[in-house]
Structure 1
Amino acid sequence: MQDLELLRYPIGKYLPPTTINIGHIQLWIEDLIELPQLIAQATIHLSEEELETPYRPDGWTVRQVVHHLADSHINAYTRVRLTLTEDDPTIRPYFEERWAELPDAKNGDIQLSIALLTAIHQRWVALLKTLLPEDFERRYFHPESKQQHTLGYLIGNYAWHGKHHLGHIEAALKN
């Protein structure tokens, strides 16, 4: 059996650069542009059985991962807008593991979440492309980690997050 840590973090944990620059931001925006299509391609021909395959023991199913991506990235988009319109906002965390257990995430059609992910990413990227470099230095406070982060950090984190869960889908389908 594969190492559990590799199954949990197929591309490794998010390690942001010490200094985030506009080059990083541009690469991460490209990742955000590509993600919905990569998820759609990875899941287009999956059977119900494959959608019910967990990516690791006691892990979410492929279906739950797809729905989680839409849920999480909707929250991220909201956090970006809060950070751009408020001074040092405190973002609202959510219980992602509970959301993944709701009936729509456990049993729902993944095409709905792929459509949501596609739309959110289109809108998100359109906004990000209008920002000035200093906008990515704006900060928000995350009450779970009790840390302030920059908008640049958030963009990098969610670019990683998409690849991270795409890795989960690919791992589930290999096993």
Structure 2
Amino acid sequence: MKRQSQKLADLLDNYTIRLSMMEEEEMEQKTSPSKWSKKEIVGHLVDSAQNNIQRFIRAQIQDNYQLIKYEQDKWVELNNYQSWDEVLLVQYFRSVNQQVIMIWEKMPNEQLTSACVVDGDTVTLEWIMDDYLVHMEHHLKQIFPDND
């Protein structure tokens, strides 16, 4: 198992349980109208997984794959995560990330060095995978700031 797969599996095991124990009111609370609620942060992580699944697949197929950016605020708004049932949202978060794990585990090691273009810079597919984990941890710390 690739180290990234194990790390993502560990994050899912730890945080899915914690997310499922949160009260609806806490999940929906916003510190200001312009900030995401914890529920919307989880939704953003779902969007990130969906967009990155495309990246992880396309980068294995296309040489010098150019990552397509997505407008994260619009994705959260248009998916209307604030109105989602918390149980369904947490299950979806877990499921879509389990798909990421399956893609990573099946990925041949030689694909890790595949070139990807991000904002004009060339990085490896492995860098994209590591960045995905850093991004997820960043947002999970927003939800659970006591976890340092």
1:108 aligns with 2:84: yes
Secondary structure of the structure 1 residue equivalent to 2:122: strand
Rounded to whole Å, the distance in 2 between the matches of 1:93 and 1:45 is: 33
Conserved in 1, the CA contact under 8 Å of 2:115 and 2:124?
yes
Deviation string, structure 1 residues 22-61 (Cα, Å, up to 9, x no partner): xxx9332212112333332222232222012347894311
Rounded to whole Å, the distance in 1 between the matches of 2:46 and 2:91 is: 9
Q: What residue identity is the alignment partner of 1:31? A: K
> Is there any run of 5+ residues in structure 2 with no aligned partner, and where?
none
1:132 aligns with 2:132: no
Q: What is aligned with 2:21? A: 45
Count, aligned residues = 147
1:30 aligns with 2:11: no
Deviates more, 1:156-165 or 1:129-138: 129-138
1:10-159 alignment, distance < 5 Å? 26-54=2-30, 58-102=34-78, 104-142=80-118, 145-159=119-133
Q: What is aligned with 1:162? A: 136
Describe the shift of the 1:103–1:151 C-alpha distance in structure 2 as closer, same or farther (beyond 3 A): closer
Describe the shift of the 1:27–1:57 C-alpha distance in structure 2 as closer, same or farther (beyond 3 A): farther
Higher relative contact order (CA 8 A, sep 6+): 1
Q: What residue identity is the alignment partner of 1:164? A: H
Shift of 1:67: 0.7
Q: What residue identity is the alignment partner of 1:148? A: T
Rounded to whole Å, the distance in 2 between the matches of 1:52 and 1:160 is: 24
Shift of 1:72: 0.5
Q: Give the structure-2-normalised TM-score.
A: 0.84
Rounded to whole Å, the distance in 1 between the matches of 2:13 and 2:81 is: 20
Rounded to whole Å, the distance in 1 between the matches of 2:60 and 2:32 is: 37
Rounded to whole Å, the distance in 2 between the matches of 1:55 and 1:32 is: 28
Conserved in 2, the CA contact under 8 Å of 1:89 and 1:140?
yes
Shift of 1:83: 0.2
Deviation string, structure 1 residues 86-130 (Cα, Å, up to 9, x no partner): 111222111001112235222212333322332222232222223
Conserved in 1, the CA contact under 8 Å of 2:42 and 2:89?
yes
Describe the shift of the 1:56–1:138 C-alpha distance in structure 2 as closer, same or farther (beyond 3 A): farther
Secondary structure of the structure 2 residue equivalent to 1:101: helix
Conserved in 2, the CA contact under 8 Å of 1:36 and 1:114?
no
Of all paired residues, the percent bearing the same amino acid is: 22
Conserved in 1, the CA contact under 8 Å of 2:24 and 2:86?
no
